[in-house]
Amino acid sequence: MLAEGRLKEIERILNEKGSVIISNLSKIFKVSEETIRRDLEKLEKKNILKRVRGGAYLLSDNDKQVPLEIREQIFLEEKHEIAQECVNHIEDGETLMIDSSTTAICVAQEIEKKGLKLKVITNSIKVVEIFENSKWVDVVCIGGVLRKRTKSFVGNKAVEQLKDLRATKALISCTAIDKVFGITDDSEREAEIRKIMIKNSLKVFLLADRTKFDNLEAHLISELENIDVVITDKKISEEWQKKAKENKVEIIYTHIEN
């Protein structure tokens, strides 16, 4: 297929699915991933799509979030390593609040592999799907407005349901972590859900890879002092270590470089 025809077909797939993965397009068109990246760059210049690491998605005035299908492909190994470490801190009989982040989805997968006996409260359709046939995990899924890009329930009804629930641990992620403002998100509705999960849990685990640090988004989830444990993939700076100590936040690494 010539380049012009490939571009038209990529655009058709985008309009049909809303997002594309570079590796998948490479297989479909039997060309290199570098060729697909150049194709996506051309389409981005025409304001047809937004490129991100691993893929691209259609622009939307209603929701700026990168679609779940793409986020699941980004830093996948690191997310699973964070999830594996997180599961080491979970015991049978606990009640967990799990958000709709891709890292939390990895945690759900690791919980199912380990066969832990738990109750899980979540707003994530993906988390529900992981446990739908589980013998050991009871699931409470809060309802509300379906946010299609994250496959999660948000909005006033979701918030009201969550306010009446309690958990031993909250397992959440975020879009950004700032030394001054704390934990922030690019979605006001997801930030509200995570805020209540923190408030209604005895212990809070923040699951965040290295790219989240020293960034800031518009919607506040929580100040650092409300987080008990941060699990991340790489050692943070001395300045961040000092900030964590000041706020009594335990930092756990999946990798420690010499």
Model pLDDT for residues 96-139, shown as the tens digit of each residue: 999 999 999 999 999 999 999 999 999 999 999 999 999 999 99
Closest C-alpha to 206, from 219, 221, 192, 218: 221
Do 55 and 79 share a domain, yes or no? Answer: no
Q: What is the 3-state secondary structure (H, E, C) of 28-52?
A: HHCCCHHHHHHHHHHHHHCCCEEEE
Do 91 and 192 share a domain, yes or no? Answer: yes
Closest C-alpha to 195, from 220, 165, 178, 176: 220
Give the CATH number, domain containing residue 248.
3.40.50.1360
Do 51 and 85 share a domain, yes or no? Answer: no
Q: Residue 16 belongs to what domain range?
A: 3-61
pLDDT for res 65: 62
Do 101 and 194 share a domain, yes or no? Answer: yes
Q: How far apart are CA 150 and CA 21, in angstroms?
A: 16
Do 22 and 131 share a domain, yes or no? Answer: no
Do 84 and 34 share a domain, yes or no? Answer: no
Look at residue 13 and tell me if it is in a domain. yes
Residue stretches of the chain with pLDDT short of 70:
60-75, 256-258
Lookup result for tokens 């930092």: 251
pLDDT for res 93: 97
**Domain termination site, one of 61, 88, 106:** 61
pLDDT for res 116: 97
**Domain termination site, one of 61, 84, 105:** 61
Do 36 and 82 share a domain, yes or no? Answer: no
**Domain termination site, one of 61, 83, 104:** 61
Give the CATH number, domain containing residue 19.
1.10.10.10
Do 30 and 82 share a domain, yes or no? Answer: no
Tally of structural domains, the chain: 2
Do 94 and 153 share a domain, yes or no? Answer: yes
* pTM reported for the whole predicted model: 0.78
